[in-house]
Amino acid sequence: MTKPLSRVLLISTGGTITMTSGPGPGGIVPTLTGDDLVKAVPELAQQAELDVLSYSQKPGASLTLEDLVEIARLLDDGFARGFAGAVVVQGTDTIEETAFVLDVLVAAGRPVVVTGAMRGAGAPGADGPANLLSAVTVAASPAAAGMGTLVVLNDEVHAARYVRKSHTALTSAFASPGFAPLGRVIEGRLRLQARVPQAPKLARPERVNHCPVALVSTVLGDDGRLLAALPGLGFHGAVIEALGAGHLPASHAAIVAQLAQTLPVILATRVVSGPVFTSTYGFAGSEMDLISKGVLPAGELSGPKACLLLRLLLAQGLQGEPLKQAFAALRDGFSSGAK
């Protein structure tokens, strides 16, 4: 007797995977719906019973945190209706951010897979169809349950907490710096080499657009004036992408100390791989100096992911010490490694 196919919810938001050439000499733009994507890959019918929702036709750079909160709600509603897994299709510009937010907000333990494409639908060697087929294959697999949100492109399966876009053009653009893919799709099925525990969860906030957080990257010779200006610009929090293991110029130390008395400040690193240190360097502007002044280390979270997490916590109404404790607990939960 043939085993029934898993029911998978597919939500399309736009992105390169949906883009074709517009009229005239201009570049490619989002034109395809979720139904269009599915019709182009008949093999999907052998992997899952799909229910398709075209949420939007936006480039990845135009998605908002409000969009992601609503998509998280749609996913939880779908799981409550019995879907075994879900696929979110979007632009690759912000896949690592979308996957991270959904990892935090989607309560169900069923697979959520985010995918997209590096080449437009009409390009020679377009990777969208293969990525979509692999994503649905993973979302329909019982083996993918319990690991939270995953990113699937180029037949590789990445954990939301680790994945980064590492190239602007290659179809192999996505990687997990310092780690590795959790598995791959080979011969039409998911082959896992490692698992990660499900991420800690947050309740979906009702509003997130009232909690702006600045993300400031540091460069050689920076004089710190942007950091000093943040409170006057209306920001409710700040994430600093520091140098190395969490270091700023010595001249920044007093600025950061004053800033941390005004709003929550997270110390991340602009380095692609590795955590922010907490107890090695002691010079002015080092991680130990900054932490002693009230700054909270981001651990292994990238600057953008730390920024999104802080926005979500602020949207919960958290401030002061409760916010710091909540951020630290979530940060440490994401640091749980692959097994």
Please tell me whether residues 124 and 272 are part of one structural domain: no
pLDDT in tens, 122-165: 999 999 999 999 999 999 999 999 999 999 999 999 999 999 99
- Look at residues 141, 173, 121, 167 and name the one whose alpha carbon lies nearest to residue 47: 141
Please tell me whether residues 45 and 120 are part of one structural domain: yes
Query: Residue 334 — very low, low, confident or very high, per pLDDT cuts 50/70/90?
Result: confident
Pure H helices in 7-163? 34-39, 65-80, 95-105, 128-139
Q: How many domains does the chain have?
A: 2
Ordered DSSP codes for 153-208:
ETTEEEETTT-EE--SS-TT-EE-TTS--SEEEETTEEEES---PPPP--PPPS--
Please state, as a whole number, how many other Cβ atoms lie within 10 Å of the Cβ of residue 197.
14
Please tell me whether residues 188 and 54 are part of one structural domain: yes
Does the pLDDT at position 337 exceed 80?
A: no
Average pLDDT over residues 19-28: 84
Query: Residue 338 — very low, low, confident or very high, per pLDDT cuts 50/70/90?
Result: low
In a domain, 157, yes or no: yes
- What whole-number distance in Å separates Cα of residue 228 and Cα of residue 72? 35
Please tell me whether residues 177 and 222 are part of one structural domain: no
- CATH number at 263 reads 3.40.50.40
Does the pLDDT at position 277 exceed 80?
A: yes
Query: Residue 1 — very low, low, confident or very high, per pLDDT cuts 50/70/90?
Result: low
Please tell me whether residues 25 and 168 are part of one structural domain: yes
Please tell me whether residues 153 and 31 are part of one structural domain: yes
What is the residue type of 60? G
pLDDT recorded at residue 15: 97
**Residue 115 is a catalytic residue:** no
pLDDT recorded at residue 177: 95
Burial 294-308 (b: 16+ CB within 10 A, else e): ebbbbbbbbbbbbbb
- Look at residues 89, 95, 100 and name the one whose alpha carbon lies nearest to residue 30: 89
Give yes or no for a contact between 192 and 182, defined as CB atoms under 8 angstroms apart. yes
What residues make up the domain containing 291? 213-334
In a domain, 1, yes or no: no
Please tell me whether residues 146 and 265 are part of one structural domain: no
In a domain, 208, yes or no: no
Cβ contacts of residue 123 below 8 Å, gap of 6+? none
- CATH number at 50 reads 3.40.50.1170
CA distances from 84 to 80, 150, 196, 231, 273 (A): 10, 15, 19, 45, 33
* Phi, psi at 197, each rounded to 5°: -65, 155
In a domain, 206, yes or no: no
Q: Could you tell me how far CA 288 lies from the centroid of its own chain?
A: 28
Of the residues 2, 13, 16, 20, which is catalytic?
16
pLDDT recorded at residue 163: 97
CA distances from 47 to 16, 108, 145, 202 (A): 23, 21, 16, 31
- What whole-number distance in Å separates Cα of residue 124 and Cα of residue 213? 40
